[in-house]
Every structure is written in structure tokens, then in C-alpha cells.
Amino acid sequence: MINKQNKNVFFLILVAALGYFVDIYDLLLFLIIKNKSLSSLGVPADKITETGLYLMNWQMAGLLIGGIFWGILGDKKGRLSVLFGSIIMYSLANIANGFATSIPVYAALRFIAGIGLAGELGAGITLVSESMSKEKRGYGTMLVAGIGLMGAVAAYIVGDFFEWRTAFFVGGGLGIILLLLRFGVFESGLFENMSKKEVTKGNFFMLFFPWKRFSKYLSCILIAVPLWFVVGILVGIAPEFGKALHAVDVLDNGKGVMFTYIGISLGDFLSGALSQLFKTRKKIVFIFITLTFCTMLVYLLNTGWTATGFYILCIFFGLFTGYWVVFVTIAAEQFGTNLRATVTTSVPNMVRGSLILVTLLFQFLVVRTGIINAALCLAVLTVGLAYIGLYNLDETYGRDLNFEEE
């Protein structure tokens, strides 16, 4: 017999996974349909890449701001407040995005949607982590991320089958439907106990002092930067890489994103299961980062790619960057209950937002070294920083989360 507690946890995992599914759908939809939508709005063919990066940076800026806002709210007012507020914001923004008629309006709505999207994963992972036993929480977060990341596949199918405006309407509608499910989710017991104590809650600036705490926070961010470099640059502008690598076929970035996220979903299940099996988070992340770097080199140091070969490579890109779930779990386990939502919500969005800096550096290097050398430089830089970050973090498998930061 499944007791009531287990049913509640199962329902929580399901709702968090579906929430992340809609989050990823909306987050990746723009990458998948950007060429179609920008052409429809009259952007010249030679300006689509530049305009696309501009809009993506607005979305990422929203994620950065939203990650801090929702994280603080989650620690001050509760994890559930974030689950409800964030989904309302990004659902309405995406419905409005379907009516966009100009690039400035498009950019503003991507920014607002980014703020909303920032709260979904962190709040879900925090709730699941605090509601499960320390021995089994890795399986819960694995299911949330693994199922949720399949939203990218849904985004590609909808974006390819429907007109781009309709694809935004679908995403907003899914969010509104999911909102109704959330009324059956319970607040974290650890949060409720902590909220009764005289302790500082959700103070973002506490993450910067002392140095040891700031170092942990920064290290949590650095370990996942290679993932968004892969998705946003190496796969996100695949047609340009295809030209430079003398690809036989046009490399479709939309399909590339879809296959990458199929791989990431599989990778999340694999890395999550391995971290539980071998009772270590750090060693699994080290292996996956190393395999990610090897795949970057395979991509950038070979020419004559076919479309099929590229899509197979994208699956491996995804598989090896599929340590995302372990990375978010590590972040949740590093910090006390009074800062846990702030960290777990802001860190993934700091990683996503790092794409702004990566994109600017990439554009700077492309003019001086060419697109392939620029990508190789950033591959070495992002992976090198990830290794340093991982080295600085504690092993957190099996850690008791019932503690606060002082």
C-alpha cells in the first residue's frame, strides 16, 4: 500500500516535472522558431542571426533578474508562492508574444517571459529535495529534470507543425492548465519549520559574505556554464558553424536543439542514477564535463558534416551535458534552508544568463579569429572554469538538509 505521504511526494514530483516541461518548452521555443518568426516580422536574412542573439540576450537578462527575485521570494514567502507566481507570469507573456508585431515588443515580452521562467526549476527542485529522504532525493530530482527536459521535443514538434504565433499560444495555454494542478501541492515541511525561527531568510547578499559561501555559490554556477555554451552557441547557431565546417547539408539549429534535449533528458536519467548508485555527485559531474569537452572537439575539429551526423552528435552533446539535474541537486544541497530557494532558483538562471557574456565574448573573438577558433577558445575557457568550480565544492550525497545559514 502507498501511504499518504508517498502519494503527496509522487504528486509533487509529477507537478514539478510537468512544470519544468512547460518551462523548457517556452524557454527553447524561441531558439527553434526564431528564423521563422523574425522572417515573418520583416527582418532581413542577413540580420536574423544578429537579431536572434539580441532577443535571446533579453530573455537571458530576464532569467537573471527573475532567478534572484523568485529565489528570495521562495525563502521569504514559501516555495509554493514561486510555483504559482512564475507560471502565471510566463504563461501570459508567451500568449502576448503570439501577438507581437515588432522587434521591440518581441524583446520586451521575451524579457518578461524570462523573469517568469526563472522561478520554475528552482522552486520545484527545492520542494522535491526538502520533501524526500536524503538517500532518495536524487531520484526525485532526476525524474523532475529528465521528464521536464522533454519539453524541448514538444517545442520542436509544435514549432515545426504550427505557425510561430500559434506555438506561443500553445505554450501559454499549457502553463494555465498546469496552474490548476498546483492547487494540490503542499508546502515544504523544512520551510515551514524554518519560517518559525528567528533567522534571516532569503537575503541574497548573504551569498557574497563570507568568502567561503560566495566561493561555493560561484562554483555552483561555473560547473554548468559549458551546457549553455553548447545549447546557445554550438547548436543554437549551427547553420553558421555548418558553413565554416563545409557541411554537406544545412545544419538545422531547431532540429539540433530538439535532439540535444532528447540527449539531455537521457543524460539526466543516467547521471542522476549513477550519482545514486555510486553515492557521489562530484565524480559523476567530472566525468560528464570531460565527455562534453571531447564532444566539442569532435564537432569543431571535423569538416564535411552531414545533417544526420550532426543530429547524432547533438544527441551525444545532450547526453554528456545531461548532468544538469545533478548540478541543480548539488546547488540545493550546498546551502541551508533559509537560503536554499535563493540559491537553487538563482544558480540555474545565472548559468543561463552567463550566455550573455559568452555570446559577447564569442562575437568579439569571431571578428578576430574566425568562428571555429572563437568556439575552441570558449570551449577551453568554459570547461576549465567548470573544473575549477567542481574542485571547490563539497561532496553532498546523503547530506541532511535540515540546517540554516548564519
Question: If you write DSSP's letter for every residue of 178-243 in order, what string do you get?
Answer: HHHHGGGPPPPHHHHHHHTSS---S-GGGGGSSHHHHHHHHHHHHTTHHHHHIIIIIITTHHHHHH
**DSSP string covering 245-261:** TT-SS---HHHHHHHHH
Say what percent of the chain tops pLDDT 90.
Answer: 54
Phi and psi torsions of 118, nearest 5°? -65, -25
**Look-up: residue for cell 548539488?**
330
pLDDT at 2 over 60: no
Looking at residue 398, what is its pLDDT? 87
Q: What cell numbers appear for 159 in the block?
A: 514549432
pLDDT cut 70: percent of the chain above it:
99
Q: Band the pLDDT of 3: cuts 50, 70, 90.
A: low
- Domains recognised in the chain with CATH numbers: 4-185+209-392 (1.20.1250.20)
Q: What is the mean pLDDT of the chain?
A: 90
Using one digit for the tens of pLDDT, what is the confidence trace for 224-244? Answer: 999 989 998 999 889 999 999
Give the pLDDT confidence score for residue 1 in this predicted structure. 43
**Cβ count within 10 A of residue 369:** 13
Q: If we measure between CA atoms, which residue out of 267, 277, 263 comes closest to residue 327?
A: 267
Reduce the DSSP state of residue 131 to 3 states and report it: helix
Cis previous bond, 210, omega within 30: yes
Cα 406 to Cα 399: distance, rounded to the nearest angstrom: 18
* Mutual angle of helices 4-40 and 79-97, in 10-degree steps: 30
CB 285 within 8 Å of CB 336? no
Answer whether 273's CB lies under 8 Å from 329's CB: no
Question: Any idea what the Cα angle at residue 177 is, between residues 172 and 180, rounded to 5°?
Answer: 135
**Helix (H) or strand (E) run with residue 45 in it:** none
CB under 8 Å to 10, separation ≥6 — which residues?
Answer: 2
CB count within 10 Å of CB 180 equals 8
Q: Are 73 and 201 in contact (CB under 8 A)?
A: no
The DSSP secondary-structure symbol of 394 reads: P
Mean predicted confidence (pLDDT) in 354-372: 92
pTM of the shown model: 0.86
Structure-block grid coordinates of residue 148:
521536464
Q: Which cell numbers hold the place of 112?
A: 518578461
Q: How confident is the model at residue 188 (pLDDT cuts 50, 70, 90)?
A: confident
Predicted confidence band of residue 382 (pLDDT cuts 50, 70, 90): very high
54-104 tens-digit pLDDT: 898 888 889 889 999 999 999 999 988 898 899 899 999 999 999 999 999
